[in-house]
């Protein structure tokens, strides 16, 4: 590099560091799906009918009668009276124009792997055959099918097959433990499971069926299991034999070669899927999404926010086992008839260039990923992306956690070459799709702030009494009006649905929708332009690498380890993961707080939840800081984990323990 070049670089760095507003690049605006700033006003004036445009993105078997039925809040219903099928919308209707275009571009982790291009026609065939397999197995409409698979093509194929026959799926992230699988199958009364023999992680085959079987042993009812063969002969060493109620997926498919299955007409409000997510208590919450509202929401946001067009090759680097993959690898993009990419592995296998190689090879138009990944890329250095032509990228996106301005600017410069706008999308499993983000062809971007609420949404930052807080002051994020993609309830638990999301700011005796306010349990602040900066969770949920984990779940896993009397878990700041798990543990008499015990605790957490929940640190202590009423003061433990000045300890029954724990944490 010449001296002049490095001077330019320095100048650029300085300019970027100071700049806190960025206009959308002109070249992007010229071609963007949404460019009219009048959309905000138009949607406000025309609410809730403004959402007809989202419904128009779908093909209906029968038109809906009512856009929004809000007669029984918070049990809102959208597009009632309408009938449609999600699999038809994501596949069949694209066939006349796009049969030979790729629906999915699948890239396997092993480099020598035969990557797969699955055209819409092939997807149609495979989904039909898979639907025939499920039917033959006895799966009926409304039976919940659990899918426990990594990023292999059969995962979206079986999801769409479920949708075709009106059987809701419940996808359990493959990295979750056997116990987590069993908990979710029991909670959903799910009698069907589709899993696989194993998959690759950093070059090695990993046994997934053994974990599945361990989980199945704890399922309280009979289960028919279908096993996809991912590893072929590379899985021979695992020595698996299928039990009587376990079926080989390929054998079943062979029996249904060329089968076609008519898409089942589903009511707009029929359940499309369940997704379990973490909350304040130990028991995961079964978030219920419905067919029309969810599909309309993901299609509309894919078009408006991710700027997806049918001819794009769109790359979301999330895992389908989480909501981001459901909404923005499978349903939203496929509803629009685009090409959606799936990558099986990690971004640094076999080298730190893998992701950039893939983007270059497939000429991806969008990249949607999490801040945790961006922070890793930044740490590895720009030389890796620099070796590749990333000029195909037209838009960048982030999701899952707040992105710090430095990481934002790095992403903007080194991946987007200052030519691709970034959408920082705030949303949740429960919201179905994007809620707070800029519209990339309309709004300026402010690094660190997600942006305004999407048109048609009423998001307000309030104080504990529900009053709007002043600009710039921290408060609680609330959504004051319903929207089509919202969760409808928690599976089999309407009471908890109200308790978790509505009770805080609503008059729960009222049947006036004006009195109902959705509370996502995030803190936030808003600036003079209505841009919202999300500050993080205000409940006992930790956000590790953009993944949501309940402290109670982790604590109960730790307390399950022999010798542990009590545990408290908090999130501490972490350079790469955003937050990491810090565990404070009291042992029973006679047990040693040594490395062996630490290892047992880590193993206990991995067994109960999965490696993502592994504690960063385990600190043994004779007591935990407690209020006089006996409540653990997690806030103080957070201060310790973050090495911050301690907050008020005056309400503690045992203030001296705090310094004691801090001393131990420094060891």
> What's the min distance (Å) between Cβ of 486 and ligand PRX?
13
3 state SS for 261-323: CCCCCEECCCEEEEEEECCCCCCCEEEEEEHHHHHHHHHHHHHHCCCCCCCCEEEECCCCCCH
The count of chain residues that interact with ligand PRX, using the rule CB under 6 A, is: 21
Residue 161 binds ligand PRX, judged by CB under 6 A: no
Q: Which is nearer to ligand PRX, 94 or 537 (CB)?
A: 537
Residue 425 binds ligand PRX, judged by CB under 6 A: yes
Residue 267 binds ligand PRX, judged by CB under 6 A: no
Among 183, 543, 551, 556, binds ligand PRX (CB under 6 A): 543
Q: Which is nearer to ligand PRX, 154 or 429 (CB)?
A: 429
CB atoms within 10 A of CB 62: 12
Instruction: Give one word for 472, left, alpha or beta, with left for phi > 0 and alpha for psi -120 to 50.
Output: left
Among 400, 441, 484, 550, binds ligand PRX (CB under 6 A): 400
Number of Cα atoms under 13 Å in the Cβ half of residue 255: 12
Q: Strand pairing of 271-277 and 169-171?
A: parallel
* 42-50, 79-87, 532-540, 570-578 -> range binding ligand PRX (CB under 6 A): 532-540
DSSP string over 437-500: ---TTTS-B-TT--BSBPTT--EEEE-TTSPBPPTTS-EEEEE-S--TTS--EETT-HHHHHHH
> What's the min distance (Å) between Cβ of 594 and ligand PRX?
35
> What's the min distance (Å) between Cβ of 522 and ligand PRX?
5
C-alpha angle 560/564/567, rounded to 5°? Answer: 85
Say what angle helices 209-216 and 178-188 make with each other, to 10 degrees: 50
Among 192, 427, 502, 516, binds ligand PRX (CB under 6 A): 427
Residue 578 binds ligand PRX, judged by CB under 6 A: no
CB 66 within 8 A of CB 81: yes
Residue 214 binds ligand PRX, judged by CB under 6 A: no
> Among candidates 200, 217, 128, 208, which has minimal Cα distance to 176?
208
> What's the min distance (Å) between Cβ of 509 and ligand PRX?
27
Residue 551 binds ligand PRX, judged by CB under 6 A: no
Among 175, 345, 347, 402, binds ligand PRX (CB under 6 A): 402
Residue 194 binds ligand PRX, judged by CB under 6 A: no
Rounded to whole angstroms, what are the CA distances from 416 to 7, 383, 423?
Answer: 21, 14, 12
Binding mask 346-385 for ligand PRX (x = CB under 6 A): ----------------------------------------
Residue 429 binds ligand PRX, judged by CB under 6 A: yes
* 41-49, 144-152, 361-369, 422-430 -> range binding ligand PRX (CB under 6 A): 422-430
Q: Which is nearer to ligand PRX, 390 or 524 (CB)?
A: 524
**Six-digit token string for 271:** 């359940």
**Six-digit token string for 641:** 């984990």
Residue 537 binds ligand PRX, judged by CB under 6 A: yes
Q: Strand pairing of 285-290 and 271-277?
A: antiparallel
Instruction: Give one word for 473, left, alpha or beta, with left for phi > 0 and alpha for psi -120 to 50.
Output: beta
* 1-9, 421-429, 557-565, 649-657 -> range binding ligand PRX (CB under 6 A): 421-429
Residue 392 binds ligand PRX, judged by CB under 6 A: no
In the bound state, the residue with its beta carbon closest to ligand PRX is 429
Q: Which is nearer to ligand PRX, 110 or 282 (CB)?
A: 282
Contacts to ligand PRX from residues 275-314, by CB under 6 A: 277
Q: Which is nearer to ligand PRX, 190 or 429 (CB)?
A: 429
* Residues 647, 248: Cα–Cα separation, whole Å: 57
Alpha helices in 82-241 (DSSP H): 86-90, 95-98, 120-137, 154-165, 178-188, 209-216
Q: What are phi and psi of 408, to 5 degrees?
A: -55, -50
| Chain-centre distance for alpha carbon 403 | 16
> What's the min distance (Å) between Cβ of 430 and ligand PRX?
7
* Residues 438, 455: Cα–Cα separation, whole Å: 10
The helix or strand, by DSSP H or E, that contains position 598, with its residue range, turns out to be: helix 595-608
**Six-digit token string for 208:** 């997934």
Binding mask 500-529 for ligand PRX (x = CB under 6 A): --------------------x-x-------
Among 324, 438, 443, 506, binds ligand PRX (CB under 6 A): 324
Binding mask 447-476 for ligand PRX (x = CB under 6 A): ---x--------------------------
Q: Which is nearer to ligand PRX, 385 or 433 (CB)?
A: 433
> What's the min distance (Å) between Cβ of 424 and ligand PRX?
5
* Residues 529, 551: Cα–Cα separation, whole Å: 35
By the criterion CB under 6 A, which residues form the site for ligand PRX? Answer: 277, 323-324, 399-402, 424-429, 450, 520, 522, 534, 536-537, 543, 548
């Amino acid at each position: 590099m010449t001296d002049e070049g490095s001077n330019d670089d320095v100048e650029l760095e300085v300019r970027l560091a100071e700049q806190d507003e960025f206009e959308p690049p002109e070249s992007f605006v010229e071609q963007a799906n949404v460019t009219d700033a009048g959309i905000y006003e138009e949607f406000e004036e025309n609410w809730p009918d403004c959402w007809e445009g989202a419904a128009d993105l779908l093909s209906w078997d029968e038109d809906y009668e009512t856009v929004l039925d809000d007669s029984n809040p918070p049990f809102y219903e959208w597009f009632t009276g309408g009938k449609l099928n999600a699999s038809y919308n994501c596949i069949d209707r694209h066939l006349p124009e796009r049969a030979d275009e790729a629906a999915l571009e699948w890239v396997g982790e092993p480099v020598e792997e035969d990557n797969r291009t699955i055209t819409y026609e092939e997807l149609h065939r495979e989904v039909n055959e898979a639907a025939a397999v499920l039917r033959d197995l006895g799966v009926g409409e409304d039976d919940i099918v659990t899918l426990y698979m990594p990023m292999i093509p059969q995962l979206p194929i079986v999801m769409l097959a479920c949708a075709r026959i009106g059987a809701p799926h419940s996808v359990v992230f493959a990295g979750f433990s056997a116990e987590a699988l069993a908990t979710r199958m029991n909670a959903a009364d799910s009698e069907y499971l589709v899993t696989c023999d194993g998959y690759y992680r950093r070059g090695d085959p990993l046994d997934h069926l053994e974990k599945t079987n361990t989980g199945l042993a704890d399922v309280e009812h009979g289960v028919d299991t279908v096993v996809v063969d991912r590893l072929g002969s590379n899985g021979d060493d695992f020595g698996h034999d299928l039990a009587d109620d376990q079926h080989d997926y390929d054998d079943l498919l062979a029996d249904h070669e060329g089968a076609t299955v008519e898409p089942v007409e589903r009511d707009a409000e029929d359940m499309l899927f369940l997704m379990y997510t973490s909350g304040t208590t130990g028991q995961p919450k079964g978030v219920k999404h419905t067919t029309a509202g969810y599909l309309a929401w993901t299609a509309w946001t894919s078009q408006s926010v991710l700027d997806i067009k049918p001819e794009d090759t769109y790359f979301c680097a999330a895992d389908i086992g989480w909501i981001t993959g459901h909404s923005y690898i499978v349903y939203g993009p496929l509803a629009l008839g685009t090409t959606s990419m799936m990558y099986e592995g990690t971004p640094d296998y076999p080298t730190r260039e893998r992701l950039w190689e893939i983007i270059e090879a497939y000429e991806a138009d969008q990249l949607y990923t999490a801040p945790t990944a961006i922070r890793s890329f930044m740490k590895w250095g720009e030389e890796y992306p620099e070796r590749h032509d990333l000029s195909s990228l037209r838009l960048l996106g982030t999701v899952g956690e707040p992105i710090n301005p430095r990481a934002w600017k790095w992403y903007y410069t080194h991946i987007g070459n200052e030519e691709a706008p970034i959408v920082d999308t705030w949303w949740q499993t429960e919201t179905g799709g994007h809620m707070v983000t800029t519209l990339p062809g309309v709004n300026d971007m402010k690094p660190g702030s997600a942006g305004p609420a999407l048109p048609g949404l009423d998001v307000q930052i309030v104080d504990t009494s529900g009053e709007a807080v002043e600009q710039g002051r921290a408060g609680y994020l609330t959504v004051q009006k319903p929207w089509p993609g919202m969760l409808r309830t928690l599976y089999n638990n309407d009471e908890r649905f109200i308790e978790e999301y509505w009770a805080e700011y609503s008059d729960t005796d009222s049947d006036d929708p004006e009195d109902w306010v959705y509370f996502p349990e995030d803190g936030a602040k808003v600036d003079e332009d209505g841009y919202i900066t999300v500050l993080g969770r205000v409940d006992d949920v930790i956000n590790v690498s953009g993944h949501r984990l309940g402290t109670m779940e982790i604590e109960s896993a730790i307390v399950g380890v022999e010798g542990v009397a009590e545990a408290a878990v908090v999130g501490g700041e972490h350079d790469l993961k955003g937050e990491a798990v810090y565990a404070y543990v009291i042992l029973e008499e006679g047990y040693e707080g040594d490395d062996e015990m630490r290892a047992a605790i880590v193993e206990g957490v991995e067994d109960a939840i999965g490696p993502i929940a592994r504690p960063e640190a385990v600190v043994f202590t004779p007591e935990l800081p407690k209020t006089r009423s006996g409540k653990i003061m997690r806030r103080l433990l957070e201060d310790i984990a973050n090495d911050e000045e301690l907050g008020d300890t005056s309400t503690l029954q045992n203030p001296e323990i705090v310094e004691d724990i801090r001393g131990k944490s420094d060891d």
